[in-house]
Amino acid sequence: MTVGIRHDDLRRRNRAMVISAVRRGGQTSRTGIAAITGLSHSTISSISSDLIAEGILAEARNEPLALKRGRPQVGLTLEPKAAVVMTVVLSLNFLAATLLDYAGEIVAEEQRRLDTRAMPRKQLIDECVAIVRRRLDDRKREGRRVLRIVLAIQGITDAPARAMLWSPITPHTDIAFADILEREFSVPVTVENDCNMMAVALRWRDPERYKDDFIAILLSHGIGMGLVLKGELFTGTHSSGGEFGHMIHRPDGALCRCGRRGCIEAYAGNYAIWRNARMMGEDDEPVDDIDEADMRTLAQVARERDGPERQAYRKAGEALGFGLGSLFALIDPAPVAMVGASTAAFDLIEPALREAIAKTAGGHHSTSISFDTEPDQMALLRDGCAMRALTFIDNDIFASGNPAQMELAAGHEMA
């Protein structure tokens, strides 16, 4: 039996395909959109005309796109003024909010240093509300509404993307950030695990390498993971999942900042490398924060001599390698992006990491496993959150062509 597609659903799907093709291409001709989407030229012409009239797309203002032969094609771009989104990043002792236009360009940004480990629950929430309010006030003065807020946080979030369940950056648990911010500002909000947002950003930056199956590993004060399988971001049934750093490396081993013992992070996180390099005991409390300059100095010492500093990096590589090897035994080897400031010392970590993988059931193809490094984790976080927010607007607001949604995007309240 053939199931028909309603006209409204078909129109919505086709509009979404055109918007997606332009977002992916940056500046794309109608012929290019046809090649990407498979839609007819007449359909694309009709849809693009509507989207231009609605202020969602615009014709490129620079030189027309040249073809090998025939009439020059005018490129289509996203209209930056069509919408505004906000990204918020909450990590250890750090809070940032960024406004981006519909083309993904930064409009305004604010960063703050906080003592997240020591802050009372209410103060932590109030800081997040305050930074959002300041940036929203900027938008109100310019007469345009923010249509989506995405908050990325270091730690475990719930599967519906509404709340922070647990985080090593604060002793407080079960904070319903999405509900709090939505009540305060009447803007849709999602709460996402930070490493998941890194994986989203990598896929947008390099879709050929980071396509169907890949892993993003955060190498920082903590250890995290974003995992994409069969083209879909992996999340658990109840939570964000992917807590790679808190898989057990050695039962009853070194103290982790999560309060348990023997986690991968307790050997590979910055505080763990620092603890081992300084020949401190495994029972010693993890240091809350370590300056990046101090870690760079530590890595340089490790390169210059085979002492406890180099051994600390070997232990980190071993913990990461056994963890990845166990993961590869389940999913097969996949491209890995190492993300964060600590990738500057990946040359000290990689040999032991590869040796450990080779000793596991997932290490049969260990020599072919490739590792890339991405040192700027904050840029990846921001970009991942932005793409989460912008593609929501693409698919759930602008693809519908709902006049009420168009009015809201332009900053006018509907009666």
CATH number of the domain bearing residue 18: 1.10.10.10
Q: How far apart are CA 225 and CA 198, in angstroms?
A: 9
Shared domain for 230 and 159, answered yes or no, is no
Shared domain for 119 and 46, answered yes or no, is no
Residue 211 or 188, more confident: 188
Shared domain for 251 and 269, answered yes or no, is yes
Count of Cβ atoms closer than 10 Å to residue 38 Cβ = 9
Domain boundary, last residue among 78, 105, 128: 78
Q: Is residue 148 in some structural domain? A: yes
Stated pTM of the model: 0.90
Q: Is residue 289 in some structural domain? A: yes
Count of Cβ atoms closer than 10 Å to residue 5 Cβ = 9
Residue 253, pLDDT above cutoff 70: yes
DSSP states of 342-396 as a string? GGGGHHHHHHHHHHHHHTSTT-TTGGG--EEEE--HHHHHHHHHHHHHHHHHHHH
Nearest to 239 by CA among 181, 191, 278: 191
Q: How far apart are CA 292 and CA 135, in angstroms?
A: 29
Q: Is residue 1 in some structural domain? A: no
Shared domain for 69 and 100, answered yes or no, is no
Q: How far apart are CA 47 and CA 57, in angstroms?
A: 10
Spatial neighbors of 59 by CB under 8 A, at least 6 apart, are 52, 74, 75, 76, 77
The answer to whether residues 28 and 75 touch, using CB atoms and an 8 Å cutoff, is yes
Domain boundary, last residue among 34, 55, 78: 78
Spatial neighbors of 96 by CB under 8 A, at least 6 apart, are 87, 88, 89, 109, 110, 111, 112, 131, 378, 382
- Structural domains counted in the chain: 3
Domain boundary, last residue among 23, 47, 78: 78
Structure confidence at residue 74 (pLDDT): 76
Q: What CATH number is associated with residue 105?
A: 3.30.420.40
Shared domain for 256 and 287, answered yes or no, is yes
DSSP states of 252-303 as a string? T-SBPTTS-BSBTHHHHSHHHHHHHHTT--TTSPPPS---HHHHHHHHHHHH
Q: Is residue 164 in some structural domain? A: yes
Q: Is residue 31 in some structural domain? A: yes
Task: Please name every residue paired with 88 in a beta bridge, in sequence order, or none if there are none.
Answer: 97, 151
Structure confidence at residue 145 (pLDDT): 83
Q: Is residue 192 in some structural domain? A: no
The answer to whether residues 298 and 291 touch, using CB atoms and an 8 Å cutoff, is no
Shared domain for 258 and 348, answered yes or no, is yes
Shared domain for 67 and 98, answered yes or no, is no
Q: Is residue 201 in some structural domain? A: no
Q: How far apart are CA 89 and CA 394, in angstroms?
A: 22
Angle at 328 between CA 358 and CA 331, to 5 degrees: 155
Structure confidence at residue 9 (pLDDT): 87
The answer to whether residues 228 and 234 touch, using CB atoms and an 8 Å cutoff, is yes
Nearest to 327 by CA among 256, 226, 259: 226
pLDDT-based confidence at residue 276 (cuts at 50, 70, 90): very high
Residue 3, pLDDT above cutoff 80: no
Q: How far apart are CA 129 and CA 119, in angstroms?
A: 15
Give how far Cα 76 sits from Cα of 15, 29, 250, Å. Answer: 14, 6, 55
- pLDDT tens-digit readout, 77-133: 999 999 999 999 999 999 999 999 999 999 999 999 999 999 999 999 999 999 999
- pLDDT tens-digit readout, 318-364: 999 999 999 999 988 899 999 999 999 999 999 999 999 999 988 77
Q: Which domain holds residue 46?
A: 7-78
In single-letter form, the type of residue at position 198 comes to M
The answer to whether residues 85 and 149 touch, using CB atoms and an 8 Å cutoff, is yes
Shared domain for 235 and 309, answered yes or no, is yes
Q: Is residue 2 in some structural domain? A: no
Shared domain for 164 and 301, answered yes or no, is no
Shared domain for 348 and 405, answered yes or no, is no
Shared domain for 99 and 179, answered yes or no, is yes
Shared domain for 297 and 148, answered yes or no, is no
Residue 199, pLDDT above cutoff 90: yes
Structure confidence at residue 41 (pLDDT): 92
pLDDT-based confidence at residue 368 (cuts at 50, 70, 90): confident
